[in-house]
Amino acid sequence: MKREWIKLGSSAALAAVFLVLGAFGAGFAHRDIIFYMGFGYCGASAVTLVRMLRERRRPERYEAARREQQIILQDERRIMLREKSGRAGYIIMWYTLMLIAIVLMFTPAPRWVVWCMWALVIYQYVVGLAAFRYYMRRL
Amino acid sequence: MNNRLEELRRARNIRQEELAEALQVTRQTIGSLENGRYNPSILLAFKIARYFDLAIEDIFLYEEESQ
């Protein structure tokens, strides 16, 4: 329950910050997006609050769901599947970013956008390599 | 790698859900193990062996040719 309170508190705080910045932050170029993000966090807070109220009404059901979640989190097959899907996501994203960067070079897109895309491709590759080296030393 | 998990479970009249709960894994993992789609870690293999009170080699059958 304590974790739920932390979750609720942090999403409510973020909602408040984004809503205030979106509404009154005159210096921001994309105030509207900041404001919508605040709405998004409001929704997340509301969902957490509703779930907490339901759990309080049926504690035995909450306890069973919590136990199930615990098992799902530590189930080794699911851990393996999460790692596998993360790897697949990494490869797909790498090729997607590279494709977008190549396509953008043949369009009248601003120069900084093309450079940013290539920087992202390189950054993703370097981060992957750094993570690999880190695990090589640890395992 | 083949295993006798399903055979042992049925012989002892245990449901997949019960075995999953005892081993702290999901029921789907037990299903995948029984179908041979997933090979367990050494830790889970030990847990399974202890649960059935057998040695790992009595449950999991390693076949050289399949490698």
A80's tokens: 């393996």
CA distance A121 to A99: 10
pTM: 0.75
Kindly list the residues from chain A whose CB atom is less than 8 angstroms away from the CB atom of residue B21: 71
Provide ipTM, 2 decimals. Answer: 0.85
Q: What is the CA radius of gyration of chain B?
A: 11
Looking at residue B66, its pLDDT comes to: 52
Percent of chain B surpassing pLDDT 70: 96
Three-class DSSP category at A30: coil
A72 interfaces chain B, CB cutoff of 8 Å: yes
Size of interface A-B (CB pairs under 8 A): 26
Reply yes or no on whether the pLDDT at B62 is more than 90. no
Cβ-based burial of B26 (10 A; exposed 0-12, middle 13-18, buried ≥19) = buried
B32 interfaces chain A, CB cutoff of 8 Å: yes
Pick A77's closest partner by Cβ from B21, B24, B32.
B32
A102: left (phi over 0), alpha (psi -120 to 50) or beta: alpha
Q: One digit per residue, pLDDT tens: chain A, 139 residues? A: 677 788 888 889 999 998 988 888 778 888 888 889 898 999 989 988 888 888 888 888 888 888 888 999 999 999 999 999 999 999 999 999 999 999 999 999 999 999 999 999 999 999 999 999 999 999 8
More confident position, A44 or B64: A44
* pLDDT tens digits along B27-59: 999 999 999 999 999 999 999 999 999 999 999
SS3 annotation, A60-105: HHHHHHHHHHHHHHHCHHHHHHHHHHHHHHHHHHHHHHHHHHHHHH
Cβ-based burial of B29 (10 A; exposed 0-12, middle 13-18, buried ≥19) = buried
